[in-house]
Structure 1
Amino acid sequence: MFQVLIIEDDYKISAMLKGHMEKYGYKAATVDDFERVMEKFQEIQPHIVLLDVNLPKFDGFYWCRQIRSISTCPILFISARESEMDQVLALENGADDYIIKPFHYDVVMAKIRSHLRRAYGSYSAKAEERTVEAASLTLYPERLTLTRGDVSVELTQKELLLMEALMKKADRVVSRSRLLDMLWEDHHFIDDNTLNVYITRIRKKLREIGMEEQLETVRGAGYMLKLNGFEAT
């Protein structure tokens, strides 16, 4: 059964969409706390997302980028904003479609079915899940998981980006400035100690999978994930 996530702050509309989808055999969940959108997304791992533009705190374009950074699931905007620029922004930020309110439920359902077919059904490319591998480590970006043999740890999105950068440059130094650029768009306003905090968290995650000494600080340069000659499990 396909899972749909509805990110819409008009509770009447979100409830009606949820009820309509469940009537057609889909599982549907709505967001209640708009400061915890990504937590809800990661909790239910939806197959498709319906997303409004006008939302509390951050707009739909922002959440679209956040979702797209960890998932390739279809994202459909449903919004009363009908300008061409809004539609362009939605697509450029990673959306797959844009539906203008007021909408017909049959059109919404038809688009949902179409995108689900393309992503998972008869029209899909059946693409394999993306992984990043280095020595005995395998990183699963879509699952936010790092594994070594039969042992795995869960990562946050920032930890995932950091780990991926280190694994892709295994046994080579990755500069602090490069890591800061990857983690924050404008790191000039980020406290220098913030990266240290994330490095400490990564070391703790590596310790949980038996790689306590592999992440080395290279003074004045950055960090190196030392995997050359490390025994695989």
Structure 2
Amino acid sequence: MFKIMLIEDDTTLFQEIKERLSLWSYEVFGVKQFDKVMQEFAEAGPELVIIDIQLPKFDGFHWCRMIRAHSNVPIIFLSSRDHPMDMVMSMQLGADDFVQKPFHFDVLIAKIQAILRRTYNYNNEPTQLKTWRGAAVDYMKNTIANDEGTAELTKNEMFILTYLVERKNKIVSRDELIASLWNNEQFVSDNTLTVNVNRVRKKLESIGLDPYIETKVGRGYMATEEAGA
């Protein structure tokens, strides 16, 4: 099930889009606070974002710019305005498509399916980006980046980080981590695991994320995330 973030302040339209997309087995969620869109985006980690242009606090262009600074997640704009420059600006900011209101739902669904298929199904590589604690974790580049900078990780370090992040707020035992590394032909011993985890923490420290990989004595490690993430 693909997760779609719908940034739309018209509650009637939001509910209608959510209900229609749910029929296609998409998980749709909205924004609780329109001044904290990036925080909610980072916590949810959607596979696609749909943004209205006219929004409270900041417009859709602002949030598209902010998302693009951290993620390559597909973005579709919605707009009731018919000015050609809206579409031009959307594309220049990195949006993948633009849908004019009012629209036929079959058209919106077709666009969503095409973008998701192009972005995920036709790509045999793992999904490139994931957000954690407001940072973009890039599996392909072996980096994690936020407003404080970018940290480059080795293959083993990235595997450890992503394995923990994908199981955020859950304790992962050392034995489970070692077994997973071996299963992926990345061979580490118990001592080497400790060294790698310490290196991950050191690199996370450089961008202010060190405290969020916790050691649970006698049990393993845990990547923490805010409640509700």
What is the TM-score normalised by the length of structure 2?
0.60
How many Å separate the matches in 1 of 2:16 and 2:96? 22
User: For the structure 1 residues 9 and 156, does the alpha-carbon distance in structure 2 shift closer, same or farther, using more than 3 Å as the test?
Assistant: farther
Q: Determine the C-alpha separation between the residues in 1 that align with 2:17 and 2:212.
A: 42
One-letter code aligned to 1:67: I
Structure-2 residue corresponding to 1:177: none
Q: Is the 8 A contact 1:3 1:48 kept in 2?
A: yes
Any unmatched runs of 5+ in structure 1? 132-140, 146-154, 169-200, 210-233
Q: Which structure carries more relative contact order (alpha carbon 8 Å, separation 6+)?
A: 2
**Alignment partner of 1:142: what SS?**
strand
Secondary structure class of the residue paired with 1:91: helix
Q: Say if 1:73 and 1:206 are closer, same or farther in 2 by CA, change over 3 A.
A: closer
- Matching of residue 101 in structure 1 with residue 90 in structure 2: no
CA contact (8 A) 2:6 2:49 kept: yes
Report the Cα distance in structure 1 between the residues aligned to 2:7 and 2:46, rounded to whole angstroms.
12
Match of 2:146 among 157, 163, 169: 157
Q: 1:205 to 1:142 in 2, by over 3 A?
A: closer
Listed as ranges, the matches of 1:167-178 within 5 Å are none
Paired residues for 1:77-88 under 5 Å: 77-88=77-88
Question: 2: distance between equivalents of 1:39 and 1:66?
Answer: 11
Greater C-alpha radius of gyration: 1
- Report the AA paired with residue 142 of structure 1: A
In the TM superposition, what is the alpha-carbon distance from 1:126 to its structure 2 partner? 3.4
Between the two proteins, the alignment pairs up a number of residues equal to: 156
Q: Which residue of 2 aligns with 1:32?
A: 32
Change (3 A) 1:156 1:34: farther
Residue 12 of structure 1 aligns with an amino acid whose one-letter code is T
Residue 125 of structure 2 is matched in structure 1 by 126
Q: Separation in 1 of the partners of 2:12 and 2:212? A: 45
Q: CA RMSD in A?
A: 3.1
Q: Give the deviation of 1:57 after TM superposition.
A: 1.2
Go from structure 1 to structure 2 and tell me whether the alpha carbon gap of 1:13 and 1:126 turns closer, same or farther (over 3 Å shift).
Answer: same
CA distance in 1, matches of 2:128, 2:207: 26
Q: Secondary structure at the match of 2:49?
A: strand
% identical aligned pairs:
37
State the 1:157 CA deviation.
2.9
Do structure 1's residue 142 and structure 2's residue 136 form an aligned pair? yes
Q: State the 4+ residue runs in structure 1 displaced beyond 4 angstroms.
A: 201-209
Contact 1:119 1:125 in 2 (8 A): no
Structure-1 residue corresponding to 2:2: 2
2:128 is paired with a residue whose SS is coil
TM-score of the superposed pair, with normalisation by structure 1: 0.59
Pairwise CA distance, 1:12: 0.7
Matched residue SS, 1:28 = strand
Contact (CA 8 Å) 2:70, 2:145: kept in 1 or not? Answer: no
AA at the equivalent of 1:129: Q
